[in-house]
Amino acid sequence: MMTSAVRILVVDDEQHVRNSLATWFREEGYDVSVAAGGKDALAILTREGTNILLVDIKMPGMDGLELQRKVRELAPDATIIIMTAYASVETAVQALKEGAYDYIVKPFDPEAVSRLVRKAAERYSLMAENRALRERLAGALPTLVTSGSPAMTRALELVDQVAPTDTSVLITGESGTGKELVAHLIHARSNRRFGPFVVENCGALAEGLLESELFGHERGAFTGAVARRRGKIELADEGTLFLDEIGDVPAKVQVDLLRVLQDRQLTRVGANAPTPVNFRLVTATHRDLEAEVAAGRFREDFYFRINVFMIQLPPLRERAEDIPALAEHFLRQFATQMNRRISGFTPEAMAALMAYPWPGNVRELQNAIERAIVMCRGDRIEIGHFPFAVAPAAADVSLAGVEAAHIRQVLAAASYNVAQAARALDIDRVTLYNKMKKYGIERP
Amino acid sequence: MKVRLLALGDVPPRLTEAVLAGLPRPFAGGEVARLPVALDSCYDRQRAQVDAACLIEQIPAPEEGWHVMGLTGVDLFMPALTYVFGISHLGGRRGIVSWFRLRFEPDEPDSAALFVRRVTTEVVHELGHGEGLVHCVVPDCAMHRSLWPEAVDLKRPEYCPACLATLTSS
């Protein structure tokens, strides 16, 4: 009985129509209920839940159209098929405009009614499958690990508070504190969670390129624009656009973004006509934007537009009580990925994790644990497996010597990913390259 | 399980005998009888058809161990549907089958054997409903739904192993 999961409700004031359809569909293996009018139908719908409703358009009291509107409110996913006589086809067309799946004229051709209900049942099954997959996908999103530090608990409360709204959110915090993860959480807990989550790192691109990335371009808009391309803003339609390092956005792009936020439409580079857009904006920065505004490096009107709701993420050193939980989380994650059996940390290793100031925050901790798992040969992580703990005794205490040692340490923690280390050090990549050259630091 | 095949109205005796003889497991023989039904009382003049839901109510309830199936040549309909080949009370061991729409068209080469096979297949189908079976996805199982005569020819007048197992276990 393949169709037993689908529940059908036949609503008709004529008893013989209800009975004959119920017999017909029960023989198909459907779970069938009948109702003589709209009131009974709504009671059954509320009590039992129904996937497909066959509704007579002409009934005394609540007619089919009115019932359809009420069903739409109670069970938006239910599929409604309108039953009509030839005389009321126009009303059936009205029902279609209001969201009915289809209509069928009485008396029904057995083949037509069977095919129509089979199609509706298949549609219901696909929708149910789709919903289940989306829920599973939403459940698979990463979660913020915390053991209940007050600072992080407050931040998570704010996430829960703002997520279901459509308000623009600005996330601030040092590099590596998990700003993108929080943005993803806001999206995952919002009404737009089934839409796309689109990320753009505004600090990584030159002005012209950033503009094209965000707004898209028409074919031939500039040299190399060989085809029309949709920008990240358009790709985020019905979803969330996360702009990381918003403090690095050039003034001209700030103006363009401000216009998009105000008008809810954008014009691709090289295009004449605007395109409507519908997205929620979440931004993040490690900079002090108020200071940037005061210094004239960031537009005040744009700042107010993106900073409707602010979430400040604390640095790891201010929530040291979360370090054991985070360390265990990353240990499990990487040990599984690398197929290693490591049970935990020695007490000395955990003490070292707690004592270290973590200038690169959670990202640095994550990298340190990953490296330690690679280094570990036993079943527990020891203090010597951490990059920050194996630095030689500081014989050179000059400022340059300390700086060189610190850069080596951060680079090691970032597995010599220069961009990542530069972010942790809060300097740009070119500066880091210059310093590496100055101190003779080379990638292993 | 025995089957009482009731001739409703003018039914050729050869047809009822052939259908009864062709019934598959788990039905084991039975008898042919006549039932004087009031077809007129179920006749819809506007549609020029007989209301199957009305007619089935004239079939007497079966005794224990029996299944009653009416056989008729009139065109059957159900109020919401333009026509039906047959009708049953699901699990109620009574039903009706009409051969009106199972006949060959005048320009088709007549095949008496194929016609009997069609009627038998639909009787087997309605007997299955009478025993509580619903439609089956196996294309050649008698419980597969058929909406036109040629589709009945694609089935066999027997149950697939799964339907047979359900019937014999109930």
- Chain B residue with minimal CA distance to A22? B80
In this prediction the ipTM stands at 0.73
Minimum-distance CB partner of B80 among A1, A20, A29: A20
- What is the rounded distance in angstroms from the CA atom of residue B39 to the CA atom of residue B58? 9
**Predicted confidence (pLDDT) at residue A226 exceeds the cutoff of 70:** no
Residue listed under structure tokens 């008709």: A12
Can you tell me the mean pLDDT for A193-212? 85
End-to-end CA distance of chain A: 64
| CA separation, residue A12 to residues A9, A35, A109 (Å) | 10, 7, 18
For residue A380, give both structure tokens.
């527990």
CA distance A2 to chain B (A): 8
pLDDT digits (tens, 9 = 90+) for A152-186: 889 889 999 999 999 999 999 998 888 988 999 89
β partners of residue B94: B68
In A76-105, the residues whose Cβ lies within 8 Å of chain B are: 83
- Which value, in Å, is the radius of gyration of the alpha carbons in chain B? 15
What is residue A165's predicted lDDT score, i.e. its pLDDT? Answer: 92
- What is the rounded distance in angstroms from the CA atom of residue B62 to the CA atom of residue B1? 11
Residue in A353, A398, A393, A396 with CA at minimum distance from that of residue A372 = A353
Residue listed under structure tokens 């391309």: A229
Residue in B46, B136, B87 with CA at minimum distance from that of residue A21 = B87
What is residue A34's predicted lDDT score, i.e. its pLDDT? Answer: 95
For residue B1, give both structure tokens.
């399980």
What is residue A37's predicted lDDT score, i.e. its pLDDT? Answer: 93
What is residue B140's predicted lDDT score, i.e. its pLDDT? Answer: 92
Q: With 0-12 CB in 10 A as exposed, 13-18 as middle and 19+ as buried, what is B153? A: middle
- What is the rounded distance in angstroms from the CA atom of residue A133 to the CA atom of residue A137? 6
Q: What is the dihedral of CA A351, A353, A356, A358, to 10 degrees?
A: -160
A14 interfacial to chain B (CB closer than 8 Å): yes
Residue in A73, A321, A308, A283 with CA at minimum distance from that of residue A171 = A283
8 Å CB contact between B64 and A90: no
The amino acid present at A60, given as its one-letter code, is: P
- What is the rounded distance in angstroms from the CA atom of residue A101 to the CA atom of residue A112? 14
Q: With 0-12 CB in 10 A as exposed, 13-18 as middle and 19+ as buried, what is A364? A: buried
- What is the rounded distance in angstroms from the CA atom of residue A412 to the CA atom of residue B36? 98
Residue in A263, A270, A256, A278 with CA at minimum distance from that of residue A210 = A256
- Cβ of B81 within 8 Å of Cβ of A28? The answer is no
Q: With 0-12 CB in 10 A as exposed, 13-18 as middle and 19+ as buried, what is A65? A: middle
In A23-42, the residues whose Cβ lies within 8 Å of chain B are: 23-24, 26-29
A337 band by pLDDT with thresholds 50, 70 and 90 = confident
Mean pLDDT of chain A: 86
Minimum-distance CB partner of B80 among A2, A106, A111: A106
Calculate ∠ Cα A48-A49-A51, nearest 5°.
135
For residue A258, give both structure tokens.
């401000």
8 Å CB contact between B83 and B77: yes
CB atoms within 10 A of CB B14: 10
Can you tell me the mean pLDDT for A325-329? 90
Question: What residues of B are labeled active site?
Answer: 126
**Predicted confidence (pLDDT) at residue A397 exceeds the cutoff of 50:** yes
What is residue A3's predicted lDDT score, i.e. its pLDDT? Answer: 43
**Predicted confidence (pLDDT) at residue A388 exceeds the cutoff of 80:** no
pLDDT digits (tens, 9 = 90+) for A405-439: 888 888 877 778 888 888 888 888 888 988 988 88
8 Å CB contact between A79 and A123: yes
Choice among A56-70, A126-140, B125-139 with the minimum mean pLDDT = A126-140
What is residue A138's predicted lDDT score, i.e. its pLDDT? Answer: 57
For residue B50, give both structure tokens.
């007989």
- What is the rounded distance in angstroms from the CA atom of residue A269 to the CA atom of residue B41? 78
β partners of residue B75: none
pLDDT digits (tens, 9 = 90+) for A276-296: 899 999 999 999 999 999 999
SS3 for A401? Answer: helix
CA distance A242 to chain B (A): 49
8 Å CB contact between B88 and B95: yes
Low-confidence ranges of chain B (pLDDT < 70): 106-110, 170
**Predicted confidence (pLDDT) at residue A134 exceeds the cutoff of 90:** no
Minimum-distance CB partner of A111 among B87, B88, B147: B147
Residues in chain A, overall count: 444
What is residue A1's predicted lDDT score, i.e. its pLDDT? Answer: 39
A21 interfacial to chain B (CB closer than 8 Å): yes
End-to-end CA distance of chain B: 11
| CA separation, residue B117 to residues B15, B23, B105, B122 (Å) | 10, 10, 16, 9
- What is the rounded distance in angstroms from the CA atom of residue B66 to the CA atom of residue B27? 9
HSE value, Cβ hemisphere, 13 Å, CA-based, for A132: 6
What is residue A274's predicted lDDT score, i.e. its pLDDT? Answer: 85
Could you tell me whether strands B76-78 and B81-84 are parallel, antiparallel, or unpaired per DSSP bridges? Answer: antiparallel
pLDDT digits (tens, 9 = 90+) for B4-53: 999 998 899 999 999 999 999 899 889 999 888 888 899 999 889 999 98
Phi (first) and psi of residue A377, to 5 degrees: -110, -15
Sheet containing B81-84, strands listed edge to edge, beginning at the edge strand earlier in sequence:
B43-44, B49-51, B76-78, B81-84
What is residue B124's predicted lDDT score, i.e. its pLDDT? Answer: 97
CB atoms within 10 A of CB A271: 15
- Cβ of B79 within 8 Å of Cβ of A14? The answer is yes
A390 band by pLDDT with thresholds 50, 70 and 90 = very low
A122 interfacial to chain B (CB closer than 8 Å): no
- Cβ of A106 within 8 Å of Cβ of B87? The answer is no
- What is the rounded distance in angstroms from the CA atom of residue A103 to the CA atom of residue A98? 12
**Predicted confidence (pLDDT) at residue A136 exceeds the cutoff of 70:** no
